[in-house]
Amino acid sequence: MSAQAVSGRAAATYEPRRDARRIRGAIWRGLFFGATALAVVLLGMLLWSILKPGIPWLSWHLITNMPSRIPEKAGMNSAIWGSLWLVSGSGLIAFILGLGTAIYLEEYADDNRWTRFIHTNISNLAGVPSIVYGLLGLVVFVDWMHMGRSILAGALTMGLLILPIVVISSREAIRAVPLSLRQASYALGATKWQTVSAHVLPAAFPGILTGMILSMSRAIGETAPLIVVGGASQVLYRPDSPFSSFMVMPLQIFNWTGRPQEEFEQLAAAAIIVLMVILLIMNSVAIYLRQHFSKKSRW
């Protein structure tokens, strides 16, 4: 249908050039698709490079056994437990400190240069290389506070590492709660704490949970700080107290890749698969929780 058929006048003043625009649109679409395809392919290749050597070594032994010098007998039980303890500990620390900080900065603190300075610094801390946290942990927790290379020291170190993420995402979640909700609460004669606890936090909870998911996913995979704070030695038992030494999955993987035998390389690949599965389970649980709470306090 030509432009002429629609309106003689329109044809005189407009040049739609629809074909040219359509082609340009198609080109961009192709480029975006290409980028996606490339990403998918690279990820696929990455996965395949892990799955191929790893799958044959997947077994219950891997999960239930302790590490050993014999590849067939080696397992990552201590590492799994260590990771779980560590992630829970650091998550707890980061949650308490981080949420508290976010609530204070968003709800109680004045908006002045000082608080904005604090916020900028917290954001910057998120970008500090993790090894720096490891060194910090070594000096302060392991040495000065005499915690030794214990889970407590590790949890505190990792807690600090993920703290900025929790603070920032919690702040965003709290900030996203609309003013109208708070005003409704205040107008009924509620105090600030009543407003925050009964309305703001429940409404912000999905967002806060998202922040926690992100941060704990990071914590479970970080290696460098734990090399410094946890040590790279063998640990052949499950941790039984916050003060015991520990092994975590990424470290175990790191150890095994350092071994000369080829079997250990494949074992490492299998361990990576286990790590990814655990990560997937963690994320799914958290996403499920977030959906559940989202529905309840949808605003």
Partner 1 sequence: MAIQTPPLQAPVVSTEPSVAPGEPEAALIALKGVNVHYGTFHAVSDVTLDVGSNSITAFIGPSGCGKSTVLRSINRMNDLVPSARVEGQILYHNQDLNARSVDPVEVRRRIGMVFQRPNPFPKSIHENVAWGAKINGYKGNMDELVERCLRQAALWDEVKDKLKESGLSLSGGQQQRLCIARALATGPDVILLDEPASALDPISTLKIEELLRELKTTYTIIIVTHNMQQAARVSDETAFFSLNDQRQGVLVEKGRTDKIFTNPDDPRTEGYITGRFG
* Residues of the shown chain interacting with partner 1 in the complex, contacts defined by CB under 8 A: 110-111, 178, 180-191, 194, 198-199, 202-203, 296-299
Identity of the residue, 288 or 299, whose beta carbon is nearer to partner 1 in the bound complex = 299
Q: DSSP secondary-structure letter at 60?
A: H
Q: DSSP secondary-structure letter at 66?
A: P
Identity of the residue, 36 or 194, whose beta carbon is nearer to partner 1 in the bound complex = 194
Report in angstroms how near the CB of residue 199 gets to partner 1 at its nearest. Answer: 6
Query: What residues contact residue 196 under an 8 Å CB cut-off, 6+ apart?
Result: 103, 107
Identity of the residue, 142 or 200, whose beta carbon is nearer to partner 1 in the bound complex = 200
Report in angstroms how near the CB of residue 102 gets to partner 1 at its nearest. Answer: 19
Q: Is 71 exposed, middle or buried (0-12, 13-18, 19+ CB in 10 A)?
A: middle
Report in angstroms how near the CB of residue 266 gets to partner 1 at its nearest. Answer: 51
Q: Which two tokens stand for residue 263?
A: 């079997």
Instruction: Name the residue type at position 167.
Output: V
Identity of the residue, 111 or 143, whose beta carbon is nearer to partner 1 in the bound complex = 111
Identity of the residue, 14 or 114, whose beta carbon is nearer to partner 1 in the bound complex = 114
Report in angstroms how near the CB of residue 298 gets to partner 1 at its nearest. Answer: 6
User: How many other C-beta atoms can be found within 10 angstroms of the C-beta atom of residue 268?
Assistant: 23
Report in angstroms how near the CB of residue 95 gets to partner 1 at its nearest. Answer: 23
What's CA 185's distance to the chain center, in Å?
A: 33
Query: What residues contact residue 202 under an 8 Å CB cut-off, 6+ apart?
Result: 293, 296, 297
Report in angstroms how near the CB of residue 108 gets to partner 1 at its nearest. Answer: 12
Characterise 129 by phi-psi region: left (phi > 0), alpha (psi -120 to 50), beta (else).
Answer: beta
Angle among Cα 97, 98, 102 to the nearest 5 degrees reads 120
For residue 67, the SS3 value is coil
- Nearest-angstrom CA–CA distance, 108 and 215: 25
Report in angstroms how near the CB of residue 173 gets to partner 1 at its nearest. Answer: 15
Identity of the residue, 1 or 188, whose beta carbon is nearer to partner 1 in the bound complex = 188
User: How many other C-beta atoms can be found within 10 angstroms of the C-beta atom of residue 236?
Assistant: 12
Identity of the residue, 32 or 299, whose beta carbon is nearer to partner 1 in the bound complex = 299
